[in-house]
């Protein structure tokens, strides 16, 4: 088995090949509009939907999504978040036949497709939001952005860099491994 070699010399070459091109591209990627980020359809229900139906919808989706409540014209009424469910519903003996309006957040932070990826990341970080509704000028729901959507967008922006990286980019071997 080879031993780890010193980290002099190689890291600067690896840094140049891997980190520098990435760092150069990040500002433009973060300033891109959310419209370039691929997203899943949001979980959306009309007002009056029972909390039990909302929970079933979340369970069927297989992901920890928020449920967006939109009126008949598609305008955002509010959001039932995981925080709402775990903090105000689970273990409280709440009536699951009650309408979603009894628990939803009625003035959620929203973004537009023309807002930047950076704006979404900042809102997720500073506001501790995981799912941010995307609305148009009339507050009609047009999507939702999640952290995994942004991570996927960034990763897909660097396929050649990510796919060609060794498991530990700064590790060098004094001798070859293998038989």
Query: How do residues 72-103 score in pLDDT, each as one tens digit?
Result: 999 999 999 887 887 767 777 778 898 999 88
Q: Is residue 94 part of a domain?
A: yes
Total residue count of the chain as it appears in this document:
179
CATH code for position 97? 3.10.580.10
Q: Report how far residue 155's alpha carbon sits from residue 95's, in angstroms, rounded to the nearest whole number.
A: 42
- Token pair, residue 8, equals 């002099």
Q: Is residue 120 part of a domain?
A: yes
Domain total of the chain: 1
Compute the C-alpha angle 112/28/128, nearest 5°.
50
From 169, 60, 39, 6, select the one nearest 111 (Cα to Cα). 39
> Whole domain around residue 55: which residue ranges?
34-156
Query: pLDDT digit string (tens) for 12-46?
Result: 444 555 555 556 667 688 899 999 998 888 999 99
Confidence of residue 11 (pLDDT cuts 50, 70, 90): very low
Q: Is residue 86 part of a domain?
A: yes
Q: Report how far residue 97's alpha carbon sits from residue 171's, in angstroms, rounded to the nearest whole number.
A: 58
Q: Is residue 166 part of a domain?
A: no
Q: Is residue 67 part of a domain?
A: yes
Which residues lie closer than 8 Å to 34 by C-beta, 6 or more apart? 111, 112, 113, 114, 115, 116, 117, 119, 120, 134, 143, 145
Q: Given the DSSP bridges, would you call strands 141-145 and 132-135 parallel, antiparallel or unpaired?
A: antiparallel
Q: Is residue 171 part of a domain?
A: no
Which pLDDT score, from 0 to 100, does residue 162 have? Answer: 55
Specify the pTM.
0.73
Are 37 and 121 in contact, with CB atoms under 8 Å apart? no
Which pLDDT score, from 0 to 100, does residue 64 have? Answer: 66
Which residues lie closer than 8 Å to 93 by C-beta, 6 or more apart? none
Q: Is residue 168 part of a domain?
A: no
- Token pair, residue 94, equals 């709440």
Cα Rg for the chain, rounded, in angstroms? Answer: 22
Q: Is residue 53 part of a domain?
A: yes
């Amino acid at each position: 088995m080879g031993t780890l070699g010193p980290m002099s010399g190689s890291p600067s070459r690896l840094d140049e090949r891997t980190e520098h091109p990435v760092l150069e591209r990040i500002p433009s990627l973060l300033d891109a509009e959310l419209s370039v980020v691929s997203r899943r359809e949001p979980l959306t229900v009309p007002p009056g939907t029972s909390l039990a139906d909302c929970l079933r919808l979340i369970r069927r989706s297989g992901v920890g999504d928020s449920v967006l409540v939109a009126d008949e014209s598609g305008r955002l009424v509010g959001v039932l978040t995981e925080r709402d469910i775990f903090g105000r519903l689970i273990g409280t003996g709440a009536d699951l036949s009650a309408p979603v309006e009894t628990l939803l957040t009625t003035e959620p932070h929203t973004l537009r497709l023309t807002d930047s990826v950076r704006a979404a990341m900042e809102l997720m970080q500073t506001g501790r939001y995981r799912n941010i509704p995307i609305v148009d000028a009339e507050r009609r729901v047009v999507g939702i952005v999640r952290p995994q959507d942004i991570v996927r967008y960034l990763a897909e922006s660097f396929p050649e860099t990510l796919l060609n990286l060794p498991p530990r980019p700064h590790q060098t071997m004094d001798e070859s491994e293998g038989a």
